[in-house]
Structure formats: structure tokens, C-alpha cells
Structure 1
Amino acid sequence: MKLLEEIMKRAQENVQHIVLPEGTEERTLQAADVILEKKAANITLIGNPDEIHSLSAKFQLKNIDKATILNPENYSQYEEYTNLLFELRKAKGLTMEQAQKLAKDPLYIGTLMIKNGDADGEVAGARNTTGNVLRPALQIVKTKPGTSVVSGALLLFSDSPYGENGLVLMADLAVTPNPTAQELAEIAVNSGQTARTIGGFEPKIAMLSFSTKGSAKHELVDKVVEATRIAQEMAPDLQIDGELQADAALVPSVGESKAPGSEVAGHANVLVFPDLQAGNIGYKLVQRLGNAVAIGPILQGMGAPINDLSRGCCVNDIVQMIAITANQAIGVKQAK
């Protein structure tokens, strides 16, 4: 897929520093080797150096010596990170003793590196649950200004004529079960930014519902209508419309019939689902029945690029996510 090649190329042209807290996880280590070979990121692996070198020899990896290896039990920034964590969390009741313990946890070290300006992004989750990955991220890096909710977007590639030449970005498919209208609006705006930063296309964002422009009356529809209004006010530079049924969002003839005059209807390339249940079911149906390829989820709304992997991921999934995280980091710096 051409987009994935473009994402990798952008990462190679503007190299970022990505930290991998699961440095002794086999797939993660192999993915790091690929990224280092492609010169697509500077890598810090967190883990026992002897175990990392042993695994590297086992898999005959040739590039791991180009990575920085941080031993969580003994590293030079330990005191600095402990104090940073304590200052950030003492108001929440964290003691110095607890901070000293957490500053040896690879997932906490990774986010502390980012907070301290020592890394640009993080990828984890091949070994840890989403909750374990997000907990230190939300405690230390937190959400970005103006955003109260974290969401997960997917890039879905298919042979269909819809979206951006068969590519559609969908959200939220991973994090927030039942967003409020305000949260749904934030998800829409963040999804538009992801489309620009990662997808490289101008977003046309459809706020999905079982109703199109008042065709049905229900409180669930009202939430989408309100979210659309808030999103349009938040980001007047983005093309956002709703409420739209999926066919009205994607199919030009249906969009023209059900929502005449809409710049988004019939041409949407970003689909924002009203809740996690609809989004998760929807993308998996398309993936399995339509033989679509799904890349992600890409976490949105964080104060810095931090992405969570599926524990069933393969090496290539991790390679792609490291490149995507690097692209997010590039976007953050360009926005500043």
C-alpha cells in the first residue's frame, strides 16, 4: 500500500526518537531491528541488556547495536526521573517511595523520557494490556490541551471506490465506550488531524448515526447532532457534517439524495462512530467480510505520541506503528 510507504519515507526523512518499553519482547526487538535498518527512527529499548543481546543473537539481528539500551534496574537518569514523577504526582498522593519503585517500571520510564524531552514517542502493548500502557501515559504525559478524551483511529484499506481511493479513517474503535457529545466532537477533530498527519489527505468527516439530517428522532441522534455542532465550532477549518447514515456518508448518489448540498455526504473519508460498540463491530465486519486491511489503532488526544499495540500483533504491525508514531511526532513539532 502506497500510504504505508509514504509514512515510512516521512519517518526516514525526519528521524524521531521512539522508546520501546518492551525491549525484551521478541516481536518488538525484531521490529526495532527493521526500523534501525531502514533508518526510520532512533530507538531506545528498555530492558535487561544481557537478555536483549541474547535474543538479538538468537534471531541473528544485525542492527540492535545501533539502539540505546536502558536497563530499568540501573540507569543514569533514575534519580532525575524519580524526582520528576514525584513532583508530577505528589498532589495525587504519590509518595517518594512509590515514585522510586515506579521509576524502575519500563512503561513509566518510557513516558518519563517523553515528559523530560528525552524521546519523541512510545510504542508498547505487545506484552502489556491497554490499561497498563495508558495508565502512566495519562498520569505523566496526559491529554493534549483542549482535549479531554483519548480515542483510537484505524486506517482501513479496501478495494472499494469509497473514501480516499479505498482508504477510510475510522474512530473511535478502541478506547471510549460511550462518549458524550463534547467527547465525540473532540474525537472528530482529532481524527481530522490524524488524517492530515498520518493519512496525508484532507479530511471529510462524517458523524455517523442511524439517521440522516433528521430522518429519525431519538436521543442517540441528538447526541450526534450536538457533537457535530460542537466539532464545527472547535475546528472551522475542517469539513465536518452530520448526522449521516453510513451510506449517505460514503455513496455519492445516496449522499446527494439524503443530504443535498453537503460537502461531506457521499465523499466522506473519515467516519466517526457514535460509540465504541458501533465502531468496533463496524470495522471488524468490514475487515472480515470485505477483506479490508486495518492498520492501528492509532491513539489520538494524547499530549505526545504514545501508541498501544494488540498483544496478538506481528512484527510488521509493530514496524508500521513505530513509523506512524514517528509521523505523529513530526506533526506535533510542525504544529508548534
Structure 2
Amino acid sequence: MGIIERIKEIEAEMARTQKNKATEYHLGQLKAKIAKLRTQLLEPPKGSSAGGDGFEVTKFGHGRVALIGFPSVGKSTLLTMLTGTHSEAASYEFTTLTCIPGIIHYNDTKIQLLDLPGIIEGASEGKGRGRQVIAVSKSSDIVLMILDASKSDGHRQILTKELEAVGLRLNKRPPRIYFKKKKVGGFSFNSTLPLTHVDEKLCYQILHEYKIHNAEVLFREDATVDDLIDVIEGNRKYMKCIYVYNKIDVIGIDDVDKLARQPNSVVISCNLKLNFDRLLAKMWEEMGLVRVYTKPQGQQPDFTDPVVLSTRRVLG
């Protein structure tokens, strides 16, 4: 049985299992098994070269932004309008087949914008070019999830689920759980506050699933089983994501207002070139970029070539 089939089998078992106090330990172990299998799914096949068939491009500028979305939502058009780089756009799906970079010149900085092929449902399992798209996304500073404002919110949920399945956590911070594997000493479990989702027995069973028998675990918040698994896996990436709703010119003003008021969301229209200034300002804010203008002693400040720093990298 392949990895994908085993994952589906475990997911089916979880769906059949009633959620209550008596089954929480069993469900926790099943979640750990799925996480391990998904990690194996992302590993390159044995004997393959490290390069693979990805489409990584060299990093350039002061930050990197990845455009993620379903086919034909306006990613290529947005790239062309913001950067001047031509990216093929057409009315049929999968016009973009590789990664196309462009450069945004904003606030005396250069921001690299990547137009990636459209994601389809099942991308985390290798369908389409999902794995390559997700790999490039992980190397970015923030993600712009491009959505069609005229369609249901289900697309956003599907994309979030696909990214979550491969270890991308959008608009979340790392769990406040201290975890350290040891060579000897057994299992040590502590918390600084009452826990409602995880207890010592469940934590031990999950560690046992990973064949970890000597470890120190300290909960500094009331975290969930999923948070604990993320910490044990150690390969999760926590990223800022801006939900960009395109094609607002084809929906009513009340629907536009509702979308615009959602957290981390910006509404635009590539067709009418609406609200690009707000999108750029939001990108700048989420990337946490700061310009520092140098001033040689006895001379005027140089306002043409600033030193650009990221407060997010400094503050963690």
C-alpha cells in the first residue's frame, strides 16, 4: 500500500471514530501517524538527485512574495501590472506552467514577486505541479493567496488545507511548547498552566509513535495535539498570508465590503486596476521592511540607496 493510500485509510478511520474523552488518545496517535506519512510524502524518492524537477529561481531584492491560487484567478495579470514583467494570461486554465519572477519597486526597495502555476485540489499529494509550487512558497517571506471574489469561499479553505498538509501554517505563530530530545533520562512532562487538550499520557503516546523515549516537554500555553505534533516534526513554517480577492468589479458593493472587512484581506480588480496601492501597502506592512538611510560623516544623507532590514527577522 502506498503512502497516499495509507493516509486516506487513516483519515477514514478518524472520520468513523467518535470524538470523546475515551477516544482522544487513539485520535492523537492517528494524527501523529498521518503527520509522519505526510513528511515521508514530501521527501525526494530514494536514489533521485537533489535538484529534481522543481522551478526554483534565484532570490533577488529585499524580500520575496509568492502568488498562490487556483488556475485563472488573475495571478499572471497581477504580476504584469505590478512589475511590468510579461506573464502569459489567457481565459483557459494552466496558462502558467513554470515560475515567473518579477520585481516590484516600492518605497526605494526591490520586492521579488513570483507567479506560480495554479494549484489544484490534491496538490499536497503530488497532483499537478503542487509540490514544486509549495516548495517555492516555503522559500518566500509572505504569501499572496489570490482568490476569485465571484466564487464561494470554498477555494480559500481548499488552498489552506493543501498548504497545511505540507507544513505551511498561515497567519499563525509557533506553539509555545519547549521540546528537547535526550539520549537518556526518560520522559519529562510539565506545564505552566492547566491544559485542556493534552495530558501527560497523550503526550507520551504521541512521542512513542515517533519512537522517542527520552525527551523533555514543557507547555507554556494550552496547546492542542496538532500543535504538539508540529513541534515534534520541527519542519513547519509559519508565514504571513494576505488573502487577495480579485474581480470585485463583477460583484455587488455589499459583498465587496464584506470581503474587505475580513482579517488579512485586500480586495482588488485587475480589470479596472483598483486598490493596488492598498495591496502594496499591506505587503510592505506584513513583510516588516524598514529603510535605513546612511549618512557619511560631514556629508548629506544618501536617499537613493537605503539599507533595508526586516523587523520580522530581527524580532522573530
Relative contact order higher in (CA < 8 Å, ≥ 6 apart): 1
Report if TM-score (shorter chain) is over 0.5: no
TM-score of the aligned structures, taking structure 1 as reference length: 0.28
Q: Which structure shows the higher helix fraction?
A: 1
Q: Which structure shows the higher strand fraction?
A: 2
Rg larger for: 2
TM-score of the aligned structures, taking structure 2 as reference length: 0.29
